[in-house]
Structure 1
């Protein structure tokens, strides 16, 4: 599965998460367009001008796109959005068929990419914390999953 599949399959997709993913290069314009097109089909969203713009994002220039993105992005908690992507990336590592060593390298990259989140301290191979970094990753996944189960 690719990263966007995790966002979709685990019901983590939201306007802010999709926009953040686009800004990070994890979501392309065609996925963003498709996502916002689906949102427009819901009656409560069909008059949202920003959703309309992003539904046609494949035809917008970067300035038009940024205007709609900024408007949507400001409506969701950045911490929640970042944790959605962090969960998706950790789930992808967990589910991957790569070697344990490659998983540790990927885990270290995620830890760095998200600016060394406190709850992942024990996931680093450089951490003085006890335990297996991958087992600690599974615990972070459980914590993040429970956070989103309660939203």
Structure 2
């Protein structure tokens, strides 16, 4: 929510959909109270709801969102006009995480790979392969 990827209505909907957690976390009263949350307290409430899953830290929550967005984009890469351009936007939205650098077009290649020795198609294929490897390791 702080990164403007979702709005407060999504938070309310997700909380409502989690009825099975109601008894364990007293979620019912929390969901009921969402309607009256003042705008200034919404981010705090969203964080409170997010950490119900094993007391996740802010970094762990951010990483989960990063992986979720990149996985969703990877699944749709064939229908998105410029999927690697979208990767670059996500990379920026999440404050340039080092874990994503290997499949960002403008970042220098690592591991002795020389992009100049390969075709454009080979370079793109390598980035997509690195993207898939990132997702595989994140799961």
Counterpart in the other structure of 1:94: 74
Supply the distance in 2 between the matched residues of 1:104 and 1:36 (Cα, whole angstroms): 32
Figure out how many residues of one structure are paired with residues of the other and give that number: 119
Supply the distance in 2 between the matched residues of 1:56 and 1:126 (Cα, whole angstroms): 45
Counterpart in the other structure of 1:84: 64
Supply the distance in 1 between the matched residues of 2:75 and 2:50 (Cα, whole angstroms): 29
1:135 to 129, 132, 138: 129
Stretch of structure 1 that moved more, 23-32 or 75-84: 23-32
Supply the distance in 2 between the matched residues of 1:136 and 1:93 (Cα, whole angstroms): 14
Structure 1, unaligned runs of 5 or more:
1-21, 146-151
Counterpart in the other structure of 1:52: 29
Supply the distance in 2 between the matched residues of 1:94 and 1:70 (Cα, whole angstroms): 27
Give 1 or 2 for the bigger CA radius of gyration.
2
Q: Give CA-to-partner distance per residue, 1:79-137, whole Å, 9 cap, x none.
A: 211111111111122111124xx011011111222222122221111222135222111
Supply the distance in 1 between the matched residues of 2:90 and 2:106 (Cα, whole angstroms): 14
1:123 matched to 2:103: yes
TM-score (norm 1): 0.63
Tell me if structure 2 keeps the 8 A contact 1:87–1:141. yes
Supply the distance in 1 between the matched residues of 2:105 and 2:44 (Cα, whole angstroms): 41
Q: Which has the higher helix share?
A: 1
